[in-house]
Amino acid sequence: QQQVKQSPQSLIVQKGGISIINCAYENTAFDYFPWYQQFPGKGPALLIAIRPDVSEKKEGRFTISFNKSAKQFSLHIMDSQPGDSATYFCAATSSSGYALNFGKGTSLLVTP
Amino acid sequence: EAGVAQSPRYKIIEKRQSVAFWCNPISGHATLYWYQQILGQGPKLLIQFQNNGVVDDSQLPKDRFSAERLKGVDSTLKIQPAKLEDSAVYLCASSWTVQETQYFGPGTRLLVL
């Protein structure tokens, strides 16, 4: 049972463009939503995270948008660079449940 | 600071054999996690330790998988006997405590033939 649904499965963006990855969840108890970046042969690394008390969080070129009523959140990568080419995972967890529930991942390719 | 260390990095075994993975978390991190990442999917939690006690092992196939964390530091994950569907990357992660950022190791890639 996939608790977090992620789309698209893969994404190709030109250098300088905007990459957008979307996630949706059902469990209203979730209150922490991180995004992880994973390069081949490496473990996932935390990129940015948000809690539902805010609708947007920005760190450099990376922004999370959060829509509590729709139970959706998304990652926007501005001015995408070839070095951003990686697999991105959204995740969700609750204060009482600790386990991170991951989406299936989005493979991003940024072309020069 | 040193990251999460895992060994071996790769392992190939035949079905019904046993295998063990080792994890050394970031120094001082009380919480340790083992995840299974099947190709094309996100990591799935197998077991979570707080110090050397188990917090959550609800998704651990206990008939074949076991894990321990002696002295609240290093941890081992064992599979016995292995099945073809166990082929995956096994990731170890640690955090200062629950709800804190999880830091992942590079993983152990297991292939069961």
Q: Where do the domains of chain B lie, and which CATH numbers do they carry?
A: 5-112 (2.60.40.10)
B41 CB near a chain A CB, below 8 Å?
yes
Q: What is the largest CA-CA distance in chain A?
A: 44
- The CATH number assigned to the domain holding A76 equals 2.60.40.10
Predicted confidence at residue B19, as pLDDT, reads 98
CB contact under 8 A, B45 and A32: no
CB contact under 8 A, B55 and A98: yes
DSSP A8-62: -SEEEEETTS-EEEEEEE--TT--BEEEEEE-TTS--EEEEEE-TT-SEEEETTE
Nearest-CA distance from B14 to chain A in Å?
23
Predicted confidence at residue B38, as pLDDT, reads 94
pLDDT-derived band at A111, boundaries 50, 70, 90: very high
Nearest-CA distance from A100 to chain B in Å?
7
Query: Structural domain of residue A61, as residue ranges?
Result: 4-111
Tokens of B14: 């035949």
Q: What is the C-alpha to C-alpha distance for residues A80 and A14, in angstroms, rounded to an integer? A: 7
Nearest-CA distance from B21 to chain A in Å?
15
Predicted confidence at residue A97, as pLDDT, reads 61
Q: What is the C-alpha to C-alpha distance for residues A66 and A48, in angstroms, rounded to an integer? A: 13
- The pLDDT mean for chain B works out to 94
Q: What is the mean pLDDT of residues B14-20?
A: 97
Number of domains in chain A: 1
pLDDT tens figures, B50-96: 988 999 999 999 999 999 998 889 999 999 999 999 999 999 999 99
In sequence order, the 6+-apart residues with CB closer than 8 A to the CB of A1 are none
Nearest CA in chain A to B50: A98
